[in-house]
Structure 1
Amino acid sequence: MSLVKFKRTPIGNLMTTDLFDNDGFFENLLWNKKLDQPALNIKETDDSFEVELAAPGFDKKDFDVTIEEGCLKITAEKSSSKEEKEDNYTRKEFNYNSFEKRLQLPDSVQEDHIKAAYKNGILSFNLFKKEETKNKKPLKVAIA
């Protein structure tokens, strides 16, 4: 079993991406701004799932990672502001970035044994599989 993106709508296949869901490409592009979501890579090995999320510009303290109802929930929030005062004007600038990603975890993942790291703009996870669900060599069955 592999990881899939979590979708709140009961309509559609969980394997589809958020961009090409039942609402249509242009509606998402213009109204929901789903293109602002960070890129996500998932690789399955014999022992674990390796997840990489591209989130440049954030600090480690900006992330909140939890496991809720079988989902790995990743949220991040960052804001900054700058103010310049001169004789006849004041200039204020601010920036706010946030996102939320959810991944439905398969039953084979050890929820209490997940490792996470943030380095060079990449938030990475190792989701270790339970011992009994790791890929094992097939057994030969004799036919009587």
Structure 2
Amino acid sequence: MSITRYDPFREAMSLRNAIDQLFSQSFVNPSWTTQTPNAPMDVYEDEHGYKVSISLPGVRPEDIDVTVHQNTLNIKGEYKHEIEPEQQQAQEKPRGNWLVREISSGSYQRSITFDRPIDLEHIETNYEHGMLTINLPVTESSRPKRIEVRSGAKSQQVPVEAGKRQK
């Protein structure tokens, strides 16, 4: 038998760890429910407009719906599980069980509203290797313009001859 010194913080930390584990497993991320598929995205802005990249692995282009209304981009669609003929037959005759099924299926929707007006006539999209890229140029009137600042004092031109100094 070993004797250890009493440390009240040890019990408090183990209680905290137990509570953290309870919240992370039970409430925040329950493993027994199916989660709604999430489509993570990146949004980049420069003076010409916006570039949106959204990760949609395994989604067919015909299952993606992209719309722009005023300054809001809406992306929605559906992840679908494709069932092979032999899998379909196996589902009709109960032969096995899923051991792990983490690839989610279902619908997704993402929306983002931009500050500047979008030029609807020049939007470009590209879908390659599960990444959808949308280039949204802004209207010409909303792009930054360089404005020349003039001095209020009158400027006077003084003729100067080459090689001579003015006094």
Same fold (TM over 0.5): yes
Amino acid at match of 1:83: Q
Partner of residue 21, structure 1: none
Q: CA deviation at 1:113?
A: 2.5
TM-score after normalising by structure 2? 0.56
1:96 aligns with 2:101: no
Q: Which structure 2 segments of 5+ residues have no match? A: 1-23, 154-167
Q: CA deviation at 1:28?
A: 6.1
The range that moved more, 131-140 or 117-126, is 131-140
Partner of residue 47, structure 2: 46
Structure ranking higher in helix proportion: 2
How many angstroms apart in 2 are the aligned matches of 1:97 and 1:78? 5
Secondary structure, counterpart of 1:83 in structure 2: helix
Q: CA deviation at 1:50?
A: 0.9
Any conservation in 1 of the 2:70–2:117 contact (CA below 8 Å)?
A: no
Any conservation in 2 of the 1:84–1:91 contact (CA below 8 Å)?
A: no
1:122 aligns with 2:131: yes
How many angstroms apart in 1 are the aligned matches of 2:76 and 2:97? 27
How many angstroms apart in 2 are the aligned matches of 1:60 and 1:75? 11
**What RMSD in Å do the two structures reach over aligned CA positions?**
3.4
Are the structure 2 counterparts of residues 132 and 85 from structure 1 closer, same or farther at C-alpha, using a change threshold of 3 Å? closer
Are the structure 2 counterparts of residues 89 and 54 from structure 1 closer, same or farther at C-alpha, using a change threshold of 3 Å? closer
Any conservation in 2 of the 1:51–1:125 contact (CA below 8 Å)?
A: yes
Q: CA deviation at 1:139?
A: 2.7
How many angstroms apart in 1 are the aligned matches of 2:50 and 2:56? 19
Bigger Rg over Cα: 2
How many angstroms apart in 2 are the aligned matches of 1:28 and 1:70? 33
Amino acid at match of 1:66: T
Secondary structure, counterpart of 1:103 in structure 2: strand
Between the two proteins, the alignment pairs up a number of residues equal to 118
Secondary structure, counterpart of 2:121 in structure 1: strand
How many angstroms apart in 2 are the aligned matches of 1:107 and 1:45? 11
1:131 aligns with 2:140: yes
Q: Which structure 1 segments of 5+ residues have no match? A: 1-25
Amino acid at match of 2:124: K
Structure ranking higher in strand proportion: 1
Secondary structure, counterpart of 1:139 in structure 2: coil
The equivalences for 1:1-144 within 5 A come to 29=29, 33=35, 36-68=37-69, 70-80=71-81, 81=83, 82-85=87-90, 89-90=94-95, 96-143=105-152
TM superposition outliers: structure 1 runs of 4+ over 4 Å? 26-31, 90-95
TM-score after normalising by structure 1? 0.63
